[in-house]
Copies of this chain bind each other. A is one copy, B any other.
Amino acid sequence: MLEFITSYIGFFAAFCTTIAFLPQAIKVFKSKSTKDISLYMFIIFTVGVLSWLIYGFVINDMPIILANAVTLILSFFILIYKIRYK
């Protein structure tokens, strides 16, 4: 039972930190305005998520691979918008 709750907390946490980038991606897509967004944040974050993805492949962990693949797409999308619409 405790194991079930623990897994649930982990999945909920992964879901939130993954999906959180979706409203930001939608916002920059709609507004084409990225002045207040930090370029360094999204460069470092995208490199970090890419590293998590590589890590997931190396240890062959599907939750890490899936969560970070989604986050990488969103994070890279926001980064492209940040570079294009300064």
Q: Give A contacts to B, CB under 8 Å.
A: 6, 9-10, 12-24, 26-28, 31, 33-38, 40-42, 44-45, 47-49, 51-52, 54-55, 58-59
The quantity of this chain's copies bound in the complex is 2
A27–B33 Cα distance when bound, in Å, is: 16
User: In the complex, which residues of chain B have a beta carbon less than 8 angstroms from the beta carbon of A36?
Assistant: 27-28, 31, 33-37
A51, B6: Cβ atoms under 8 Å? Answer: no
Selected from B17, B31, B38, B52, the residue in CB contact (under 8 A) with A13 is: B52
User: In the complex, which residues of chain B have a beta carbon less than 8 angstroms from the beta carbon of A42?
Assistant: 20
User: In the complex, which residues of chain B have a beta carbon less than 8 angstroms from the beta carbon of A54?
Assistant: 9, 13
11 inter-chain pairs at a CB distance below 8 angstroms, sorted by A residue, are A9-B55, A10-B52, A10-B55, A12-B48, A17-B45, A17-B48, A20-B42, A20-B44, A23-B38, A23-B40, A24-B38
